[in-house]
């Protein structure tokens, strides 16, 4: 079984004290230990941002790609080797700013990925500029007179784009987040976990205290199979009204199983030795 020691690297975390990335990181490692995720069966993909440093502190095969581009890389990994557990770590700016188009189409195609959104409501690594998820009228380094934009809703965007597993958790609720990560990975299809992950340095509004006082679990009798009801709950965000849990879940064939021409022969198993394009080009002679 995977152990905590096996997940350790020589690199010490560089996140700010109190950063929501710490409990998020611990929740993921706990899930790895519980499910025996390791270098033999799991790969991590990260974008650019504070969240991307997680791959330096976790001993797991990983790729840190270009800003906003972790999803295309993850799609390639999963198509080549569908047996891999592929986790995407991305920030709200990385995912919905530079990478918004990738998010829509990856969800629409139902790629079998687990996307863990580090949602702190701004660009933290570049010292606090407004992101597509920054609340309206909030003052940041890039909006000193208040943010004129209104934020995207990641849950609504995921559900309406075709994601088949959509959940939300709060970073410091470690047990709940661990459970959400495990459930999301078990799901076959595009899974998003919106992790409310406070930035203690640059976001004085969406704080640990704010989430501790204003979040609640979806009730036990809530069933996540009604898309309209899921959208209604996803629009809830305010005082005493931020739900946590699985909002929507749908059984649907994942994109990787649509490659019928492979005859269930994964790309990673196909030998590349002695391959020639000569016959392919002959018809153009």
pLDDT digits (tens, 9 = 90+) for 51-106: 999 999 999 999 998 888 999 999 999 999 999 999 999 999 999 999 999 999 99
The token duo for 184 is 């999301």
Query: Residues 6 or more apart from 116 whose CB is under 8 A from it?
Result: 24, 28, 87, 88, 89, 90, 181, 193, 195
Cα–Cα dist 80/58, whole Å: 23
Q: Could you give the angle at the alpha carbon of 196 between the alpha carbons of 35 and 37, nearest 5°?
A: 15
Report the pLDDT averaged over residues 177-201.
98
Q: Is the pLDDT reported for residue 248 higher than 70?
A: yes
Q: Which residues, including other chains, have CB under 8 Å from residue 83's CB and lie 6 or more apart?
A: 41, 266
- Band (259; pLDDT cuts 50, 70, 90): confident
* Domain at 5-282, CATH homologous superfamily: Thiamin diphosphate (ThDP)-binding fold, Pyr/PP domains (3.40.50.970)
pLDDT tens-digit readout, 139-154: 998 999 999 999 999 9
Name the percent of the chain lying above pLDDT 70: 98
Per-residue pLDDT, averaged over 235-264, amounts to 89
Beta partners for residue 212, in sequence order:
none
Rounded CA separation 47/66 (Å)? 6
Q: Return the DSSP state at 278.
A: H
Domain ranges within the chain, ordered by starting residue: 5-282
d(CA 127, CA 124): 5
Total-model pTM: 0.92
Element (H, E) at 114: strand 114-119
Check residue 279 and give its pLDDT: 77
Q: Give the separation between CA 222 and CA 77, rounded to whole angstroms.
A: 34
- Nearest Cα neighbor of 154 from 187, 112, 197, 189 is 197
- Rounded to whole angstroms, how far apart are CA atoms 29 and 45? 15
Is the distance from CB of 255 to CB of 111 less than 8 angstroms?
A: yes
- Does position 261 have pLDDT exceeding 90, yes or no? no
Torsion-angle region of 55 (φ positive above 0: left; ψ -120 to 50: alpha; else: beta): alpha
Cα–Cα distance, 78 to 256 (Å, whole number): 7
Chain center to CA of 253: 20
């Amino acid at each position: 079984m995977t152990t905590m020691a096996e997940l350790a690297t020589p690199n010490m975390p560089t996140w700010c004290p109190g950063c929501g990335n710490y409990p998020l990181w611990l929740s993921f490692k706990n899930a790895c230990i519980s499910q025996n995720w390791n270098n033999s069966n799991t790969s991590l993909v990260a974008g650019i941002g504070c969240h991307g440093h997680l791959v330096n502190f976790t001993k797991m095969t990983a790729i840190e790609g270009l800003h906003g581009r972790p999803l295309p890389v993850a799609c390639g990994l999963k198509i080549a080797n569908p047996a891999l557990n592929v986790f995407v770590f991305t920030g709200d700016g990385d995912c919905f700013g530079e990478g918004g188009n990738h998010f829509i189409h990856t969800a629409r195609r139902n790629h079998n990925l687990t996307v863990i959104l580090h949602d702190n409501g701004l660009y933290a690594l570049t010292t606090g500029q407004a992101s597509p998820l920054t609340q309206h009228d909030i003052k940041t380094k890039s909006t000193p007179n208040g943010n004129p934009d209104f934020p995207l809703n990641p849950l609504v965007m995921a559900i309406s784009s075709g994601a088949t597993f959509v959940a939300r958790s709060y970073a410091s609720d470690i047990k709940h987040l661990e459970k959400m990560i495990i459930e999301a990975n078990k799901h076959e299809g595009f899974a998003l976990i919106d992790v409310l992950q406070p930035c203690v340095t640059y976001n004085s509004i969406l704080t640990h205290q704010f989430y501790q006082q204003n979040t609640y679990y979806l009730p036990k009798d809530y069933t996540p199979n009604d898309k309209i009801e899921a959208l209604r709950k996803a629009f809830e965000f305010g005082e005493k009204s931020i739900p946590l849990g699985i909002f929507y879940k749908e059984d649907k064939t994942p994109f990787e199983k649509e490659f019928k021409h492979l005859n269930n022969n994964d790309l990673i198993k196909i030998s590349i030795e002695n391959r020639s394009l000569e016959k392919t080009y002959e018809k153009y002679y």
